[in-house]
Amino acid sequence: LQSFESKYLEAKQFFEDFLEDYLSSSPVIDETLKKSIVYSLLNGGKRFRPVLSIFVAEALGIPPKKVLPFAAAVEMIHTYSLIHDDLPCMDNDDFRRGKPTNHKVFGEDVALLAGDALLTQAFSIVAQNYQHMVLVQLLSEAAGWKGMIGGQIHDMLSKKKQLSLDELMKINENKTGALIVLAVVGTLEIAGVSENLKVPFYSFAKHLGNAFQLKDDLQDSERAIEPGTIPSLVGIPKTKEMLVEATRQAKNFLNKIDIKNGPLVDMIEANFNRID
C-alpha cells in the first residue's frame, strides 16, 4: 500500500512536470519576464491546490490529467498574488520560502509585470484547454474583487482596527479559502458531476480552506503572534479548537458522499499535522 506521503509527492510531481512542459513549450516570451515567472512559479511550493484538484479528480473517477491545465491556472493565480503581495508597496517582504522574493531578484517593475502576466495567462490556459465558460467565471470570481482581491484589500485596510472573529473568518475565507474552494469546484465542473454532489464537495472545500488558514496561523504564531490574526484575537487554544472543528467538518462532508478514507481524507489529516 502506497503511503499518503508518496501519493502526495507523486501528484505534485505529475503537476510540476505539466507546468514545466507548458512553460518550456510556450512560444516567445521576453527572456527576463520568463525568468521572473519561472522563478516564482517553479519555486518548490507545497502545490496544495493542484494536488487537491488531482485527488478530487481521482475520487470522481476522471483521468487526473484532465484537470492539469485548470490546476495550473489556479496555481498561476496563487503565484501572482504572492508576487504582488511581497512588493514593497504591499507587505514589503524580502524573502519567501527562504529565497529572495521576485522583486528582490528581478526588480519591482519586472515583478509587477510577471504577476500581471501570470494572472492573464491563467485565463489563457483555461481558454486553450476547456470549452466550459463556467470555469472562467469561477476563476475570475474566486480571484477577483468578491474573492481573493476582496480579502486582500479588506485585510490591508483593516490592519489599523480591531476586527471581530466573524470579520477575520470572512477575510480568510476570501484571501485563502477562495482558491482552495476553486480547486475543488472547478474540478467538479470539469468532471461534470451532478448538483447533489456539488453541495457536499463545496462544504468540504470550504472547511478544508478554513482549516488550512487556521493551521497557517498557528504555525506562524509559534514564531510570533501577529496582530490582526485569529490567534491574536482569540488565543492559541481557541484557535486550535477551531482547527479541530474545521478538520472534523471537512471530513464530515466527505463522509456524506461516502468518502471515508483515501487521499482526500488523508489530506485533511495531513494539514492538521503538518509542520512547515
Footprint of a copy of itself (CB under 8 A): 26-30, 32-34, 37, 80, 84, 87-90, 107-110, 112-113, 115-117, 119-121, 123-124, 126-128, 130-131, 133-134, 136-137, 139-141, 143-146, 149-150, 152-154, 156-157
Task: Tell the smallest beta-carbon distance from residue 122 to a copy of itself (Å).
Answer: 8
**In this complex, which beta carbon is closest to a copy of itself, that of residue 31 or of residue 276?**
31
**In this complex, which beta carbon is closest to a copy of itself, that of residue 51 or of residue 119?**
119
Asked if 174 and 148 touch (Cβ cutoff 8 Å), the reply is yes
Task: Tell the smallest beta-carbon distance from residue 21 to a copy of itself (Å).
Answer: 17
Residue 134 C-alpha from the chain's centroid: 19
Asked if 16 and 54 touch (Cβ cutoff 8 Å), the reply is no
Q: What angle do CA 112, 77, 138 make, to 5 degrees?
A: 135
Task: Tell the smallest beta-carbon distance from residue 189 to a copy of itself (Å).
Answer: 12
| DSSP-derived 3-state class of residue 274 | coil
**In this complex, which beta carbon is closest to a copy of itself, that of residue 1 or of residue 89?**
89
Q: Which residues touch 133 (CB under 8 Å, ≥6 apart)?
A: none
The CB density around residue 13, as the number of other CB atoms within 10 Å, is 11
**In this complex, which beta carbon is closest to a copy of itself, that of residue 107 or of residue 235?**
107
**In this complex, which beta carbon is closest to a copy of itself, that of residue 91 or of residue 241?**
91
* Cα–Cα distance for residue pair 64/74, rounded to 1 Å: 15
* Cα–Cα distance for residue pair 91/178, rounded to 1 Å: 20
Task: Tell the smallest beta-carbon distance from residue 125 to a copy of itself (Å).
Answer: 9
Say how many CA atoms lie within 13 Å of 30 toward its Cβ.
Answer: 8
**In this complex, which beta carbon is closest to a copy of itself, that of residue 34 or of residue 46?**
34
Task: Tell the smallest beta-carbon distance from residue 106 to a copy of itself (Å).
Answer: 10
Cell 510540476, located at residue? 16
Task: Tell the smallest beta-carbon distance from residue 64 to a copy of itself (Å).
Answer: 22
